[in-house]
Structure 1
Amino acid sequence: MSKTVLSLQGVGIYQNEHKVLSNVNLEVQKGEFIYLIGKTGSGKSSLMKTLYADLPLHEGQGTIVDYDLRKLKEKDIPFLRRSLGVVFQDFKLLPDRTIFENLQFVLKATGWTEKEGIQRKIEEVLDRVGMLPHANKMPHQLSGGEQQRVAIARALLNDPDLILADEPTGNLDPQTSAEVMEVLFKINGNGRTIIMVTHDYALLLKYPAKTLKCEDGSVFEVVQRSL
């Protein structure tokens, strides 16, 4: 049975007071992989920020992993974000901590207390992205691709129903981008839903999936050959 992890109906997306997207209607089912494409300034990042509650939703109806975005209170935002995994273009790893300590920090911040449980979880997610041998390294000792794998591992820590990946290959060369995509598709194959913003149309051709485009204030599905 399918489970809707994201539903937007008649949604308007605003950046400051400026409306960037109108009448957004979107249903995302558990297990889907969806690309979000569009030119710079077309509203992709504003849409993503609305989904993880960095921007408020004032127009239309929206639910994400069972949270109502219109009724979301400030105190609920950390709980929403625990139900999401967010992967950014610039990794956002803490430079003064090892990879293990980076992930430990997130788990402790989200309420984990049991030492053995924390150890097990960190080893599990690092193993899933092929980074377990690097657990005691500092971020600066890793390549960009390795840092992004760690960022994906971090996004998996609280077993999210949905992963939002905002340009996760934006700072990576083509070979490394392909490696990161393999990791993401493997995670998707295990049942995780992923929405990924990208400018890299070559990736879409190599790893085809449902594709949505932001253009002229609208969001619509496109077929690959018309990219």
Structure 2
Amino acid sequence: MNESILSLEDVAVFQQENMVLNDITLEVRRGEFVYLIGKTGSGKSSFMKTLYADLPLKEGKGEIVGFDLKSLREKDIPYLRRKLGIVFQDFKLLPDRNVNKNMEFVLRATGWKDQAQIDNKILEVLEKVGMKTKGFKFPHELSGGEQQRVAIARALLNDPELILADEPTGNLDPQTSVEVMKVLQDINKSGRTILMATHDYALLLKYPSKTLKCDGNKVFEVVQKAV
């Protein structure tokens, strides 16, 4: 049941020719909620980018949602990303179309054809994040928290095995951060695995979970002390 969804062995992360992180060996199991913490510039984003193949894995062994990152070919990257839900700090919604059309764009780009199935799927994911009634709104008509909920809904469209959330609360105020966090917690409780990069330590205290830390060119698990 609790099989590995991400495993890295002796991995080094490069940004162009520069080695950002090295000697990473870790595992994330299906159904876990895992934080990735570390100061700005400690390599969290580069680490995430390596996981969704925005940066190539040049050194070490890495497997994610059944894909081998080392031998991954360019043409397989879209298939890998379909099994990953990626949530960015700055939402990355298309400003020229409403929420429903943002969702439809992703579904059509990933091979969905049937309009009724598309509409049902959009409604289903928006409902999960409490945005069912906002589908006709454009991104600029939504608050930051609402935009991030939509971005999370978008990440759920293809039923990903693993959600990579890169500072999903980075642009939000504390109250909204907690609301977005609750959405992520609910998604995790429904059985989805989440790896969330954050430097919001208040959230870690409020929702303690397995924590990886980026520090001194390494990524390692931190044991949280009982308060």
The structural deviation recorded for 1:164 is: 0.1
What is the distance in 1 between the residues matched to 2:115 and 2:50?
34
Superposed, 1:69-218 pairs within 5 Å as 69-218=69-218
What is the aligned-residue RMSD (CA, Å)?
Answer: 1.1
Q: Secondary structure at the match of 1:224?
A: coil
The structural deviation recorded for 1:225 is: 3.6
1:54 equivalenced with 2:54 (yes/no): yes
The structural deviation recorded for 1:41 is: 1.4
| Conserved? CA contact 1:88–1:166, under 8 Å | yes
Normalised by the length of structure 1, the TM-score is 0.98
Structure 2 counterpart of 1:75, which letter? K
The CA deviation string for residues 44-93 of structure 1, in whole angstroms up to 9 with x for no partner, is 11110000000000100001000000010100001100110000000000
What is the distance in 2 between the residues matched to 1:43 and 1:143?
29
What is the distance in 2 between the residues matched to 1:14 and 1:173?
32
What is the distance in 2 between the residues matched to 1:77 and 1:9?
21
The range that moved more, 37-46 or 62-71, is 37-46
Structure 2 counterpart of 1:84, which letter? L
**Paired position in structure 2 for 1:45:** 45
The structural deviation recorded for 1:223 is: 2.3
**Paired position in structure 2 for 1:16:** 16
- Structure 1 residue ranges without an equivalent (≥5): none
| Conserved? CA contact 1:205–1:224, under 8 Å | no
The structural deviation recorded for 1:16 is: 1.2
The structural deviation recorded for 1:158 is: 0.2
Q: Secondary structure at the match of 1:90?
A: coil
| Conserved? CA contact 1:21–1:217, under 8 Å | yes
What is the distance in 2 between the residues matched to 1:98 and 1:38?
35
> How many residues are paired up?
227
Percent identity for Structure 1 against Structure 2: 69
Structure 1 counterpart of 2:74, which letter? E
Structure 1 counterpart of 2:154, which letter? R
The structural deviation recorded for 1:224 is: 2.5
